[in-house]
Amino acid sequence: MPKISIQDFLEELRNIDPKAPGNWPLPIKIAAFLSIFLAVVAAGAVLDWNGQWESLSAAKQQEAQLRNEFLSKKREAINLDIIKKQLIETQQSFGALLKQLPSKSEMDALLTDINQAGLGRGLQFDLFRPGTEVATGVFTEQPISIRVNGSYDDLGKFCSDVSQLPRIVTLNDITISPGAGGTLSMDAIAKTYRYLDESEAAAGKKAGGGK
């Protein structure tokens, strides 16, 4: 096949008849075919691939959003497990504390235990007067005004014995002053607590306007 110079190719290109492509020289036909092919490919890229690129971009954005939502839900699930564990531990702790509160039927025995703790240390009670119960939520607070006489050492041991009772008892507003015969007199408010039974809790809700 003879070589065709660029000048000859351009000369033939100027002389072709656009209305008679069948008479075009072979190099012109090949160039025209390649031009049409490239134009079709470019048009397809613009018209078809462009939409696919947009769909792919939207899919990537949706993937990133779903990944962020997944990580957020995962963190929430982990936190929920921690919260559930803490709730169980709190309920167990509350149950253990609740067992340290006497019921209504056990209050008389507890008052006796406090009195016996003082007598066991050789203290003399000048005052042992239970006050009016005060309802606070699911339990009541029972104040007891006490005045005991004895040595400093025995008063200290009495306070220790009270703190070690199986039921919760606290000593508040403690005042120590000189007593008769070289002894000391201790005034205090002992407070113990008991939980409300179902009937008392229901009555409290009713009195408070609860359903």
The CA-CA-CA angle for residues 185, 190, 194, to 5°, reads 165
Low-confidence ranges of the chain (pLDDT < 50): 1, 211
Q: Are residues 47 and 142 in the same domain?
A: no
pLDDT at 1: 46
Q: CA-CA distance, 127 to 147, in Å (whole number)?
A: 5
Residue type, 101: L
pLDDT at 98: 58
**The pairing of beta strand 184-195 with beta strand 134-136:** unpaired
Q: Are residues 121 and 152 in the same domain?
A: yes
CB 161 within 8 A of CB 120: yes
| Number of domains within the chain | 2
Tell me the whole-structure pTM to 2 decimals.
0.48
Q: 18: helix, coil or strand?
A: coil
Q: Are residues 82 and 112 in the same domain?
A: no
How many residues appear in the chain? Answer: 211
Q: Are residues 143 and 165 in the same domain?
A: yes
Instruction: For residue 141, give its domain range.
Output: 104-207
pLDDT at 204: 52
pLDDT at 148: 93
Residue 74: both structure tokens together: 């995962």
Please identify, among 67, 99, 131, the residue that sits at the C-terminal boundary of a domain.
99
pLDDT at 34: 80
Q: CA-CA distance, 173 to 187, in Å (whole number)?
A: 8
Q: Are residues 117 and 191 in the same domain?
A: yes
The CA-CA-CA angle for residues 190, 195, 198, to 5°, reads 155
